[in-house]
Amino acid sequence: MTELLHLSTFLRRPIFDEGGDRIARVQDLVARLGDAPHPPIVGAVIRIEGRDLFVPIRKIGGLAEGRMTFEGKRVDLRRFERRPGEILLAEDLLARHLINLVRGRLIIASEIEIAEVDGLWEVVGVDPGRRSFLRRILGPRIGQRVKVDRIVDFASIEPFVAHVPSARLRIPYRKLAHLHPAQIADLVEQASHAEGEEIIEAVGLDRELEADVFEELDTAHQLEFLEERSDAEAARLLGRMEPDNAADLITEIDQDRRESILDLLPTTQRTKVRNLLTYNAETAGGLMNPDFVSVPATATVEDALRAIRTSTVSAQSLYAVFVLDDARPVATATIAQLVRARGTDRVLDVALTELTQVDPYSDVHQVARTMSDFNLTVLPVVEAESGRMIGVVTVDDLLEELLPQGWRREFGMSAAQE
């Protein structure tokens, strides 16, 4: 089994020459970030008479024994300068936030674990526990024996590098893309502002994902990140959000920016958002999403499935297909009902024709009672006078309205995990 060594046992410890004389003090270890799951250690930063110098790892011996020796003939006296891709393990990682990509949570790097693997020294793990301070108090000999709490494989870790003075270091988008937007939003809310910006910048490479993450953020963080964006950039972002979420956010933006951003929205999105803004936020009209999938009364199951495949309605809102007769809902078919039916069947023959609905002025409590009483995941909103269907309220939108602001943080969903 590979022996793990704690970074803290090397920091500010002496480094000796081959004759046993102390020549410097170890300030930090340097690793190179890249595609390798465990970043290789490329050297150490040592201090000689107040000057920080770099020693390559090939010239350092005794790392495994805890007594570092310089095995070269002379030390390069040029001051240490970080090269692109390099990270200082103590300065950049120790006691800082790291992203646990497996759990979608932030952790604190209480200790950095290194090991020799096939002759190369690598950063293999992070200890997010609280015992590491004992190692610093007890010193390297005894401290090395203090049991670690839990090791997180560095392959599942992504460090924040906004504070690292190298513009080439950024969180790779591909490492965040497999997380759910809600998990990414939780990371942003846990992080500092600079760290949150770094995450938003990474997911910004995928405009749709950026909009999905923004929808999951609490209002305070949405406004915080919009403040630093121009009206055009804000409109681009809101233009990709669900219309109901965009309408909710636009009402929170400072009034002197509101009209400018609305005018910059794509025409279709602008019309939807302005219509939603005419309703009270705590009514069915304020909660509804005007985007839904519908087919005429003559449609077959295959027609309905084709409508689903070609629809731009988000998967989160696509619970059912509504059958309309002159814009009035007469039936609803769930995805499961359509998949189980034959393609040549009429949708009306497999759909539920006893349709439950609300008008746009129904308050949120009436909406909740209706969805609960009839076990609905989606509820059509219909104009009282014309009977025309104008939107749907989904169960996730209802829950978001009913749950208190900041509920994730209050119930420990956004706390940095150890």
Residue 269 has which token pair? 């999105």
pLDDT band at residue 415 under the 50/70/90 scheme: very low
221 membership: H or E segment, kind and range: helix 219-226
Nearby residues of 299 by Cβ (< 8 Å), 6 or more positions away: 307, 323, 346, 347
Output the DSSP codes for 226-248: HTTS-HHHHHHHHHHS-HHHHHH
pLDDT (0 to 100) of residue 280:
93
pLDDT value at 417 more than 70: no
Cα separation, 150 vs 133, whole angstroms = 15
Q: Cα separation of 267 and 257, whole Å?
A: 18
Query: Does residue 183 carry a pLDDT above 70?
Result: yes
Q: Can you give the pLDDT at residue 84?
A: 84
Tell whether the model's pLDDT for residue 228 goes beyond 90.
no
Residue-level pLDDT at 64? 81
Q: Where are the domains of the chain?
A: 5-159, 173-279, 286-402
Return the closest-CA partner of residue 152 out of 96, 100, 114: 100
Nearest to 175 by CA among 195, 159, 158, 163: 158
Q: What is the pLDDT of residues 281-312, one digit of tens each?
A: 899 999 999 999 999 999 999 999 999 999 98
**Per the structure block, which two tokens stand in for 19?**
């004759």
End-to-end, the C-alpha distance of the chain in Å comes to 25
pLDDT, one tens digit per residue, over 148-181 is: 557 899 999 888 876 565 545 677 888 888 899 9
Measured distance CA(372)–CA(366) in Å, rounded: 10
Pick the CATH number of 173-279 from 1.20.1090.10, 3.40.50.720, 1.25.60.10, 1.10.645.10: 1.25.60.10
Per the CB < 8 A criterion, the answer to whether 203 and 173 are in contact is yes
Can you give the C-alpha Rg of the chain in angstroms?
29
Question: What is this structure's pTM?
Answer: 0.80
**Tokens linked to 417:** 């995990």
- The span from the CA of 133 to the CA of 382, in Å, is 62
- Does the domain at residues 286-402 carry the CATH identifier 3.40.50.620? no
Euclidean distance between CA atoms 223 and 217, whole angstroms: 10
Per-residue model confidence as pLDDT tens digits over 371-401: 999 999 999 999 999 999 999 999 988 988 8
